[in-house]
Chains A and B, each alone.
Chain A
Amino acid sequence: MADSAHNLLAASRVRLIKDRIARYGVTAGGVMVLVALLLIFFYLLYVVFPVFRPVTMEQHETYAVPGTGKTLALGIEEQNEIGFRLTDDASVVFFAARQANKGFNPGDIVSVEQLSGLTGELIVTMSTPASQTYAIADEQGQALVVRPDFRVTFPNDVRQLTPFVSYPLGEEPLQVDQQGQPLKHFVFERGETEATFAAVTADNRLIVTRLLGEEDFMTEEIEWQAEYYAIRTQTHDIDQLLITPDHRMMFVRHANLVDVYDISQPDAGISRLQTLDFGNTKLTYMDLLSGASSIMIAEQGGTVSQWFQVLTEQGREFTRIRDFDAGGNVSIMTSEFFRRGFMAGTTDGQLSLFHSTGDTRLVSKQLAEDSIDQIVFSPRADSALLQEAGQISYVDIYNPHPEVTWSALWQEVWYEGYKEPDYIWQSTSGSDDFEAKMSLVPISFGTIKAAFYAMLFAVPLALAGAIYTAYFMAPEMRTYVKPTVEIMEALPTVILGFLAGLWLAPLIEGNLPGVMTLLIVLPAGFLAAAWGFHKLPKNIKQRLPEGWDAAVLIPVVIFLGWFSFAISPTLEMWLMGGDARGYITNELGISFDQRNSLVVGIAMGFAVIPTIFSIAEDAVFSVPRHLSNGSLALGATPWQTLTRVVLLTASPGIFSAVMMGLGRAVGETMIVLMATGNTPLMDWSIFQGMRTLSANIAVEMPESEVGSSHYRVLFLSAFVLFIVTFVFNTISEFVRQRLRDKYSNM
């Protein structure tokens, strides 16, 4: 007896444990849903976050300048391991730039390469950063072009960098000045078979020397032929020269002016295109941004202005675009290799990092006590080398997404080559120098536009339908209508999109007057049918059970639809001279896309109708009967009862239905992808397309590089969608809950 009781107890303990396990398991499962939602939220945020992380610039290692001589130029290779100096005793000193566990301490010399053939005092210039090429000129006006290079080997599976110097234009110095004078300033750019030098000689001549290369068939070596040009100029105090990497333009800075010369065809004459005048402000430095469309000019006081060519009435002219503040007199500037970023160092040792199109000073720091002598970006712009008073510092930079800023995403930006600031989304292009333009405004606009037209179509139809179905329709008919609407909801959007793009769009284009007619004819037809029915003899009228009016109207809809399309060509002839499309484009001056907002509105409206319909129908249907019965008993007509009692009571539910529909319209992808041209336009016109956030993600996400700014901005747009729909859904759910509570009290 006791034994069995014991057994019973033991068994029930097991059962209780099982019960508890089940409780915990199920609770965990319930919480999983919340976890899933939070996971989506935080993961999206996690990917987006680096875009908005503040830029940092840290001085890591500082060491005495390695090697001998005075530094003429500094550089660092892609892995930020080995830096190099070009010195005034004609050598290239390679040294360990930072602690990188290769058996060198920062500042240790890795190797030294002596350059030959140069005599006397030397000066150095660097060509466009991406080419990593330097030219060194000597007292006799001749220059040697060198490129510090790195060979990667894997002895014992360990990566090893071996520095060496290559000579892209041959190991013999080239004569830059025909008269053999020393050069005061000089710049140089090279292409595959041409190279251009521009220089100011000691006797103040401004010269341009162009080298044209010809391949020797026997030795396969390139022979360089020099052509010498002199520019007549009155100025003797030239401070700085720049030429563009495409050998087309030269900038000459002197005092408070910058002269722009066209050197594209020096044999046809070198002409001055424009002079940028800064009035009384003295200029301190200038530099080209990567891509060489923009020139940055620093003024006394620390203002750095960006200039690029803009199409004006006088043709293409350099225009002042925007200003930056470097915080002091700029002694040196350098630009990033591939992005539109640059650094400016001041005479009092302050270093600032900027991004031109982002229109921001990203970070600014006092990195030296005195004037910064040399500063150079690493190729990936994630570090820099800085020289100041006998010391070199390695500066670590965290700046992966300078182009994505709040203002670049949501405000007008003046991009290179554009006439004016604008909202532009253009994320990719074939060209290397291309700058991604990522404004979320046009695609957000597209989203709103698409949702607007969809709602314009869907809300009246869905709400009126819901009201009728819930309030007037016969219950038997309702059992057919509701499942039909549910099936409408289940239709895959890819099919709606396909029909919209390939069937509806051409149909509407061909029958535009018919579609317009339909808008007028349908309501009129309904009224006429109602009147006709009203006038029917009583005995016929009574045959139709109450609440089947919608069924009666189905043939009317079909007839009117057919009628509108049948008279469409005639109307087109009458009103639009036979060609609706041409009429709209030529007479009304509205451009017409075949896949336009009208098509999207109808197709997406079709997708949204069931969402709105079923929630609104629920809301109207669950209005307590005693309210409407009371109203009817007091003598109100059914319509009065509906508008004054039922709708008022159900209005929060109807509101929540519309919000739900809006949420769906905002996030819909396939329909807009297939039924619009997907061009990011900013135009409310019903006859033009758009690009929405969701379609943009669908189009560009598969091609975007993981971790790039583009990738993160696409995640940001997904996050925006998430938040927007979250707000809509939560509001609508909240309102609905309140309504439910209210009804249960009635």
Chain B
Amino acid sequence: MKTWFKSGSPWVWMTAGTVSISLVAVLGLLLLIAWRGLIYFWPAAIYQFEVRDQLGNVTTVVGEIHDREQVTVLQLRESGREIDGAPTDLVTRYLVKTGNREFVDLDFRWILETDIISRSQPTNMARVERTKNGNFYGQIEAVLEQGKPVAGDVAEVLEQRIARVAELTDGMADIQHSDIGGINYKLEKIRLRERGDELRDRLTQDRIDDYNAQREALRTEYLGYEKELFALREETERDSVVIKDMRGESVSISMKYVLDVIYPNDMSVLAKAGHWFIEVGKFISSEPREANTEGGVFPAIFGTVFMVMLMAVVVTPFGVVAAIYLHEYAGKNALTKIIRTAVINLAGVPSIVYGVFGLGFFVYVMGGSIDQLFYPEALPSPTFGTPGMMWSALTLAILTLPVVIVSTEEGLSRIPSTVRQGSLALGATKAETLWRIILPMASPAIMTGLILAVARAAGEVAPLMLVGVVKMAPTLPVDGNFPFIHLDRKFMHLGFHIYDVGFQSPNVEAARPLVYATSFLLVTVIVGLNITAIGIRNHLREKYRSLEH
């Protein structure tokens, strides 16, 4: 034993252990996020519990099991619960999501294993996904059309009616966003033009009349759309569905709130899997509902991707040029040393400091000046002098600049100097050598740098909280109104979505699965990007290793 210790082998094992801990932690973390994120879309079974409360009354509780945990009898007693058994005994309790928010005090409740008299999975139990008040659980009794029951198979009729309402709502959303949104946008434009004329002292009576005529035209158009909208809205209110809830009462829910109805207890594994894919698709492609705690994350995905692309456009040229300077042009002097230190420091400055700088310099100084020069008619309400898409992209571009520089420089340094010398010996100038020989060879490295920069930017939240991200953006930064791309707008972001829904939302319990799903999405994108970058880099290394010999 003593010699074994003396050999140092146990200490080697200890150091090996730390690597194992790190590996287990990373992989465990990724698995945790994946598991929690993906299970969110799996249709959970709906249970019906007969529960006896402390007074001996028996109630029926219907819902999904959201979570379960083991508590000791002692802990229960301390929380004021009378229960039999030794203090150390463990009791299981379930967190049941009962939905039906408008009829119960809390849509989540804890139920003790010992209180449950019976537990079943009744068939025909429906989970109704709604636009308001979360899910509803119960047994569907009838579908009403203008208050009268519709004949036929309830499930089938319901499906048709849901499709009908979905179509109507789509139409309504279309009118609201494209048509009415467009009119509002044009009205605002007219107001600004008028104000601009006034500021430049060229607001003549002709122009005023012209603007008023345009306004009048838009207003008539608007009234037309409004009428259409009201007609559609009335249509959606025609049907309703009657559901028997867990209190045994029949509740009528207007069809316009119903998004989807499924019967998880009656579904086969295959059907559930199919539904899982549909849910994933909906999550990615639809808008959030109910203060972001339900629905999809499409605007957040769009905002993240668009911002990151914009940033890539800015950061790539600067990063590549700086790397070329450092590797190809810079002499061995103090300036080079200082610039290298600057790169390292830029990489090490906390991201929040970039946010502060972006807010102060980009938003208030640059944005403020742009507003003074180009948008005086909109003042005092700022156009670019407020956090927005463009400033976020610029801020993140400085933040990710070192990533691109370091990666590109590494690529440049792997290109054997014989290649450069060959090109120069054949009479090419340095610029030509760079442009024709070095850059094409270094392009995968530049790509790697870009991917890493994108991955870094996609996960960065702290600076964005200051320079442009909001929890709920009414419009996307790209839409059908001229000039189509609106860089002054605020946007939604996946990372901020996680922070906001996980920590600022009123109903954290209900929102948590959604946060896991969003996290999983973000992690997938970032890990995917990183693995791609690592792959490219390794491939490059191999390639140049063979070149060198």
B12 and A486 form a contact (CB under 8 A): no
B24 and A561 form a contact (CB under 8 A): yes
Given contacts A22-B431, A484-B23, A698-B466, contact A726 B349 (CB under 8 A): yes
A707's nearest neighbour on chain B, judged by CB, is B364
B401 and A534 form a contact (CB under 8 A): no
B427's nearest neighbour on chain A, judged by CB, is A12
Given contacts A40-B349, A472-B15, contact A494 B498 (CB under 8 A): yes
Among B350, B357, B360, chain A packs the most CB atoms within 10 A around the CB of B350
Docked complex: B483-523 residues within 8 A CB-CB of A: 495-496, 498-499, 502-503, 508, 512, 515, 519, 522-523
Q: Which residues of A contact B329 (CB under 8 A)?
A: 23, 26-27, 30
Q: How far is the CA of A486 from the CA of B22 in the complex (A)?
A: 12
A667 and B352 form a contact (CB under 8 A): yes
A557 and B21 form a contact (CB under 8 A): yes
Among B72, B352, B502, chain A packs the most CB atoms within 10 A around the CB of B352
Does B74 belong to the interface (CB within 8 Å)?
yes
Chain B interface residue count, CB cutoff 8 Å, equals: 107
Q: Which residues of B contact A728 (CB under 8 A)?
A: 348
B24 and A495 form a contact (CB under 8 A): no
Does B270 belong to the interface (CB within 8 Å)?
no
Q: Which residues of A contact B526 (CB under 8 A)?
A: 490-492
Q: Which residues of B contact A609 (CB under 8 A)?
A: 22
Q: How far is the CA of A318 from the CA of B328 in the complex (A)?
A: 73
Partner of A729, one of B75, B345, B353: B345
Does A550 belong to the interface (CB within 8 Å)?
yes
Q: Which residues of B contact A557 (CB under 8 A)?
A: 17, 20-21, 24
Does A114 belong to the interface (CB within 8 Å)?
no
Does A575 belong to the interface (CB within 8 Å)?
no
A47's nearest neighbour on chain B, judged by CB, is B360
Q: Which residues of B contact A697 (CB under 8 A)?
A: 352, 355-356, 466
Q: How far is the CA of A420 from the CA of B75 in the complex (A)?
A: 40
Q: Which residues of A contact B88 (CB under 8 A)?
A: 573, 578
Could you give, for residues 469-502 of chain A, a 1 whenever the CB lies within 8 Å of some chain B CB and a 0 otherwise?
1001100000001011111101111110111011
Q: Which residues of B contact A638 (CB under 8 A)?
A: 8, 12
Given contacts A465-B18, A490-B456, contact A553 B13 (CB under 8 A): yes
B19 and A473 form a contact (CB under 8 A): yes
Q: Which residues of A contact B72 (CB under 8 A)?
A: 569, 573, 578
Q: Which residues of A contact B462 (CB under 8 A)?
A: 493, 669-670, 673, 694, 698
Given contacts A37-B345, A44-B356, A706-B364, contact A485 B22 (CB under 8 A): yes
Q: Which residues of A contact B429 (CB under 8 A)?
A: 15-16, 18-19
B4's nearest neighbour on chain A, judged by CB, is A534
Q: Which residues of A contact B455 (CB under 8 A)?
A: 490
Q: Which residues of B contact A634 (CB under 8 A)?
A: none
Q: Which residues of B contact A497 (CB under 8 A)?
A: 499
Does B157 belong to the interface (CB within 8 Å)?
no
B14 and A43 form a contact (CB under 8 A): no
Does A639 belong to the interface (CB within 8 Å)?
yes
Given contacts A19-B431, A549-B13, A553-B13, contact A701 B466 (CB under 8 A): yes
A30 and B352 form a contact (CB under 8 A): no
Could you give, for residues 424-452 of chain B, a 1 whenever the CB lies within 8 Å of some chain A CB and a 0 otherwise?
00000111101100000000000000001
Does A31 belong to the interface (CB within 8 Å)?
yes
B32 and A503 form a contact (CB under 8 A): yes
A492 and B10 form a contact (CB under 8 A): no
Among A510, A642, A722, chain B packs the most CB atoms within 10 A around the CB of A722
Does A663 belong to the interface (CB within 8 Å)?
yes
Q: Which residues of B contact A355 (CB under 8 A)?
A: none
Q: Which residues of B contact A729 (CB under 8 A)?
A: 344-345, 347-348
A29 and B18 form a contact (CB under 8 A): no
A550 and B23 form a contact (CB under 8 A): yes
A522 and B466 form a contact (CB under 8 A): no
A733 and B341 form a contact (CB under 8 A): yes
Interface of B (DSSP majority class): helix
Q: Which residues of B contact A669 (CB under 8 A)?
A: 350-352, 462
Does A188 belong to the interface (CB within 8 Å)?
no
Given contacts A669-B462, A694-B352, contact A490 B16 (CB under 8 A): no
Q: Which residues of B contact A493 (CB under 8 A)?
A: 459, 461-462
Does A640 belong to the interface (CB within 8 Å)?
yes
- Contact count band on A: 35 or more
Q: Which residues of B contact A552 (CB under 8 A)?
A: 16
Does B474 belong to the interface (CB within 8 Å)?
no
A39 and B361 form a contact (CB under 8 A): yes
A502's nearest neighbour on chain B, judged by CB, is B502
B23 and A530 form a contact (CB under 8 A): no
Q: How far is the CA of A551 from the CA of B27 in the complex (A)?
A: 13
Does B104 belong to the interface (CB within 8 Å)?
no
Contact segment of B131-139, B214-222, B319-327: B319-327
Q: Which residues of A contact B466 (CB under 8 A)?
A: 697-698, 701-702
Q: Which residues of A contact B19 (CB under 8 A)?
A: 464-465, 468-469, 473, 481, 550, 553
Q: Which residues of B contact A483 (CB under 8 A)?
A: 531, 534
Does A425 belong to the interface (CB within 8 Å)?
no
Docked complex: A1-57 residues within 8 A CB-CB of B: 15-16, 18-19, 21-23, 25-27, 29-34, 36-37, 39-40, 43-44, 47
Among A25, A26, A578, A715, chain B packs the most CB atoms within 10 A around the CB of A26
Q: Which residues of B contact A44 (CB under 8 A)?
A: 353, 356-357, 360
Q: How far is the CA of A534 from the CA of B432 in the complex (A)?
A: 62
Q: How far is the CA of A729 from the CA of B349 in the complex (A)?
A: 9
Q: How far is the CA of A552 from the CA of B88 in the complex (A)?
A: 36
Does B26 belong to the interface (CB within 8 Å)?
yes
Partner of A569, one of B4, B7, B9, B90: B90
- CB of B172 to closest CB in A, whole Å: 34
B321 and A36 form a contact (CB under 8 A): no
B344 and A733 form a contact (CB under 8 A): yes
Q: How far is the CA of A487 from the CA of B26 in the complex (A)?
A: 8
Given contacts A29-B321, A484-B23, A523-B17, contact A501 B502 (CB under 8 A): yes
A530 and B10 form a contact (CB under 8 A): yes
A529 and B22 form a contact (CB under 8 A): no
- CB of B67 to closest CB in A, whole Å: 11
Q: How far is the CA of A156 from the CA of B335 in the complex (A)?
A: 59
Q: How far is the CA of A662 from the CA of B534 in the complex (A)?
A: 26
A718 and B352 form a contact (CB under 8 A): yes
A33 and B405 form a contact (CB under 8 A): yes
Does B151 belong to the interface (CB within 8 Å)?
no
Given contacts A491-B459, A495-B33, A667-B349, contact A556 B20 (CB under 8 A): yes
- CB of B377 to closest CB in A, whole Å: 16
- CB of A576 to closest CB in B, whole Å: 11
Does A745 belong to the interface (CB within 8 Å)?
no
Q: Which residues of B contact A16 (CB under 8 A)?
A: 429
Partner of A494, one of B9, B74, B434, B495: B495
- CB of A521 to closest CB in B, whole Å: 11
Q: How far is the CA of A626 from the CA of B335 in the complex (A)?
A: 35
Docked complex: B337-374 residues within 8 A CB-CB of A: 338-357, 359-361, 364-365
- CB of B102 to closest CB in A, whole Å: 27
Q: Which residues of A contact B361 (CB under 8 A)?
A: 39, 43
B342 and A495 form a contact (CB under 8 A): no
* Closest 7 pairs between A and B when the two form their complex, measured CB to CB: A639-B8, A667-B350, A492-B459, A30-B325, A29-B321, A22-B431, A530-B13
Known: A26-B329, A498-B502. 15 other contacts (CB 8 A): A26-B321, A26-B325, A29-B321, A31-B325, A33-B401, A47-B360, A492-B495, A493-B461, A495-B519, A552-B16, A637-B8, A667-B351, A718-B352, A726-B349, A729-B345
Pick 12 A–B contacts, CB within 8 A, sort by A.
Answer: A32-B318, A468-B16, A493-B462, A495-B495, A498-B502, A502-B502, A527-B14, A553-B16, A569-B70, A706-B364, A726-B349, A733-B345
B contact set with A: CB distance below 8 Å: 1, 4, 7-27, 29, 32-33, 69-70, 72, 74-75, 78, 87-88, 90, 317-318, 321-322, 324-326, 328-330, 335, 338-357, 359-361, 364-365, 398, 401, 405, 429-432, 434-435, 452, 455-456, 458-462, 465-466, 495-496, 498-499, 502-503, 508, 512, 515, 519, 522-523, 526-527, 530-531, 534
